[in-house]
Amino acid sequence: MNKMNKFLLPVLGVFLATGLQAKVMDASVATVNGRPVLSSEFDTYYDGVIEQYQAAAPQILEQPYAKDMLGKEVLRELISKELLYQAAEEAKIQVKDSEVDSGLAEIKARFAIDDTGKQDPKGAEKRFNEALKKQHMTLKSYKNKIKKDISVKKLLEAQVQASVKPVEEADVKALYANVEAALKNKTKALKKLEKEDPAKLREAQLIAAKLKQLTAEQVRVGHIYLAVTKDMPAEEAKKKEELAKQIKKELDGGMDFSAAVKKYTEDKTALASGGDMILIKGIAPKEVDNAAFTLAVGKVSAPIKTEVGWHIIKVKEKRAEKEIGYEDIAQDLAQYVAQNKIQTAMMEYVNGLADKADIKVTKTFEVDKVIEAEAAKRAAEEAKKEGEKSAKEEKTDKKEVKQEEKK
C-alpha cells in the first residue's frame, strides 16, 4: 500500500481535459481505493499541459527532466481529483440537471471566438464538438464530468470554505508591512524577516515584484509581429524583413493600423484585442522597449528587429509610474490572504483523504531514477560522515581510557 501525502490542489474549473470515454481495458497509471486513473486520461491531460507550456513558456520545457516533472504533477492532480470525486460520492452530494446545463453553456460560450481571434458565435457549437472529439468524449460523458466537478466544488465549499476563519485586518497589515519593506528595500526589516520566516520573505518579495510591474511606467501599443526563427532559411528571413518594410510604407500611406494587424500579424492570440498590448518599462526586449517609451502617442515605429522576428508598434496611450499606499491595495491583500487560507485548508483536506486512501502508483518517470540516485548519494555521504564521526569518537574514548589507566 503506497500513501501519497502531498498533492497539487486540483483544478476545479470545468474544462476539456480528460477523456472519460476510455475503454474498460485501458491501462492505468494509478489506482485510488481500487479505482483506476486511466493512462488515456493521463495522456490527454499531460498533452494539454505540454501544449500550454509550448505556447506560453517553451524555455521551461528545455530544462532537464522538465516534462517528467510536469508529468508527475499531472499524475498527482489526477489522483487528487479522484480522491475528491470519491469523497463527493460518499457525501451523497446532489447536483441538479439545471446546474449541469448552466456549466455546459458556460463552456460552450468560450468557443464563440474562432482560431483567428474573431467573434463567431455561430461556429461555437461546431468548435465545441470538435474539441469533444479530440478529447475522445461524447456529450453524455462530458456532462457527467461537469456533474462530478460541480459535486466536488460543493463538497469543498461545505468541508473547507465554511471552516476557514475570516481575514482579520491585523493579518492584512502584517502582510503589507512585509511587502512595503520589500518595495522600499528596507534592509534591516528584510534581514529580520528572513531570520524569522524565510517563506514570508519570499512571499513579500513576489508580491512586491508584481506591484512594481503594475505600478511601473506603462505604454499601450498596437503590435504587428512577423516571426523569424533561428533555423529559418536566410531567404525566408529576408522576405520577412522586406514584408515589414512594406507594411511600414502602407501605414505611412494611410492604412489603418488595426486593419494592418488583422492582415499581417502572426501573433494570432493578440487578434482578439486588435493587436493591443500593455508594455511595462524594462520587461519587453530592449529594442521594442526603447521604441515604445520614446515614441510620442499616436506615432508608429519603423520595423524593429529582435531575436524572435520583426515588430511594428503604434503607441496608443502612456501611463506614468504610480505611487501606492496601504489603502490602495488593502482589499487586494485581504483577498490574497483569504485565498491562501482557503488553499491551505483545501490542501490539508485532500492530504487527509490521501492518508486514509489506498493509493497505488504504477506510472514511472525517468526523473524518478535521478531522484533516487541523488537520495542514495546523499544517504551514503551522511553515512560516511556518521562513520567518520563514530570512529573519531571511538578513538577519543580509547585515548581517554588509556589516560585513566595510566592514572
Confidence (pLDDT) at 58: 81
Task: Give the separation between CA 281 and CA 297, rounded to whole angstroms.
Answer: 16
Q: Please report, rounded to a whole number, the percentage of residues in the chain having pLDDT higher than 70.
A: 89
Residue 121's pLDDT band (cuts 50, 70, 90): confident
What are the grid coordinates assigned to 359, written together? 493509493
Identify the architecture of domain 217-319 in CATH. Roll (3.10)
Distance of CA 101 to the CA centre of its chain: 28
3-class DSSP assignment, residue 65: coil
Least confident of 55-59, 93-97, 277-281: 55-59
pLDDT band at 392 (very low <50, low <70, confident <90, very high): confident
Query: Which pLDDT value is given to residue 174?
Result: 95
Q: 87 falls in which pLDDT band (50, 70, 90)?
A: very high
> With the C-alpha atoms ordered 315, 317, 321, 324, is the resulting torsion angle positive or negative?
negative
For residue 269, pLDDT beyond 90 = no
Fold of 28-159: Triger factor/SurA peptide-binding fold (1.10.4030)
Q: Where are the domains of the chain?
A: 28-159, 217-319
pLDDT confidence of residue 20: 38
- E strand spans, 188-275: 218-227
